[in-house]
Structure 1
Amino acid sequence: MLRSEVLKALLINNLFVLGSLLALPAGFAWLLTLVNRQTKGNLVTRFGINSQVYLGWLGIIIHETSHLIMALIFRHGIQSVRLLKLPHLNRETTDDTDLALGYVNHTWNQHSFYQTIGNLFIGVAPIFGCTASLLGLDYLLFPGLAHAILKIAAHPTQPKWQSSWQALTTGFGGWGALLILLGLTIFIVIGGFDLSPADYQNSALGLSSTVILLVVFTTIITLLDAHATVIVGAIVTFGLTMAIILSYALIISLIVMAVTRALR
């Protein structure tokens, strides 16, 4: 390729990779955190501090389990774990875990590049964990929805709308399954997508190292790999799949926030 074409390919591929793996999840994480914190505040105001646990228990468990799995993958030292707990309104100590709905306390070697990068993935793990859980529930209770999502995401530039609609309408699991799916989705979005300040701080520790790694990886495959288009395309498909699932999670979150605000 000519030099200008190489530079253009490098720029486009890096934008696609960084956007699909970092910017897109970060944007949805920010929006979902804002919305679901407001929902929890509405619940606490109207029904008491424990109501956020009663309605968000499934999401909280998935949230903390996602942190735990990623911490283990990146070989962090696990100090203590609570996947679900009731918060204490009147604290007599200064322990931050008193008001937490769950926690995973971990340590890492600051001289390890691998463990440092892991901080980013551990911090944002609930976004990926809750998204995967929602897709899994779709497969189980409304398979047509899952197939429709994947069909659209598989062809980002030319979405297969007709085949996606056909999959959606022919894979309907019944109204009972749909109601169960809706209820479980509400439990997940209320408790699962709300990233804490500690999650953001933890993610920031590994952000710069992860960006450098992704840029180096993308640059290498663009310059040396004849199948770079396929690899980048697969990453974009992954990002688009997440975007679709996170979009309807955001819509449901907004509806739940509006309902809890009316109740308040």
Structure 2
Amino acid sequence: MGNLLTNNLIVLTIVIGVPAVFAWLLTLVNRRSKANLVNRFGINSQVYCGFLGIMLHEISHLFVALIFRHGIQSVRLIKLPHLHADQTDDLALGYVNHTWNRNSPYQVIGNLFIGVAPIFGCTAALLGLDFWLAPGIGRAIVHLAATPEQLDWQGSLQLLMTSPTNWWQLGLLLLLSLSIILGGFDLSPADYENSALGLYSTCGGLVVLTSLATLIGWTGWMAPLIAWGLTVAIILGSSLIVSILVMVLTFSFTDH
């Protein structure tokens, strides 16, 4: 009984809790940074600075919506907002309008993952950039997450130090990462509302599947899941740190 409760708590924390907490914090911080940019440089500055993240945000929604067989009505990966528009949709920086069958549990559950898809899409993009432009960083992150029961900080640091990177690669990595972080991790109220539609069904499904797997003694999937969750947490944690630094920097843009 103890293992049953523990495994369910671990699964719900990794799949639901960790992304939810980071999504809330990243949204809060990056929304403040965007507001500072808008106040100083105008409403379109958030698009110019975060264009890559905005497109990845919408691509993530679209990709997961297709996986869950939602009907795609219209897509726009990036657009300039209109501050004095009559319709609130004109303030959006991009959109994916989709429909679903309310009688299909699969499509209803999909709403949760579609809503938070940018968190995972942008996380994957950041990890991919690390491996492309600074392989040492990517290897260090994966190595650290590979042993969640005993984090090998020394091994990760060694991988980081023995993989030299050119200055232009680090500079490009910083610029692209900033654009992704600033424009991609800010979940809109519509994203949260959409996610809420599938939250209870998803939690129920996870509890049922985890309980069945635990009762029949199949727990080999727990270690890879924990390693995956730790990888996501490390990348999102670093994104949050950079986001806070960017927010502090943008405060200098505001008029005093």
- Alignment map for 1:20-99 (pairs within 5 Å): 20-91=14-85, 93-94=86-87, 96-99=88-91
Partner of 1:145: 137
TM-score by length of 2: 0.98
Aligned residue type for 2:196:
A
- 3-state SS of 2:221 partner: helix
What does the per-residue CA deviation read over 1:146-168, in whole Å, with 9 as the maximum and x for residues that have no partner?
11111111111111222211111
Partner of 1:160: 152
Structure 1, unpaired ranges of 5+: 1-6
CA positional deviation for 1:263:
1.4
Partner of 1:205: 197
Partner of 1:109: 101
Partner of 1:252: 242
CA positional deviation for 1:97:
2.1
> Matched residues, percent identical?
60
Q: Does 1:231 align with 2:225?
A: no
CA positional deviation for 1:22:
0.6
- Alignment map for 1:180-195 (pairs within 5 Å): 180-195=172-187
Name the CA distance, whole Å, in 1 between partners of 2:45 and 2:51.
10
Candidates 239, 242, 263, aligned match of 2:232: 242
What does the per-residue CA deviation read over 1:159-185, in whole Å, with 9 as the maximum and x for residues that have no partner?
122221111111232221111111111
Name the CA distance, whole Å, in 1 between partners of 2:100 and 2:47.
29
Name the CA distance, whole Å, in 2 between partners of 1:148 and 1:111.
45
Aligned residue type for 1:59:
G
- 3-state SS of 2:74 partner: strand
Question: How many residues get paired?
Answer: 254
CA positional deviation for 1:225:
3.3
Aligned residue type for 1:224:
I
Aligned residue type for 2:65:
A
Name the CA distance, whole Å, in 2 between partners of 1:193 and 1:73.
21
Candidates 120, 125, 132, aligned match of 2:112: 120
TM-score by length of 1: 0.95
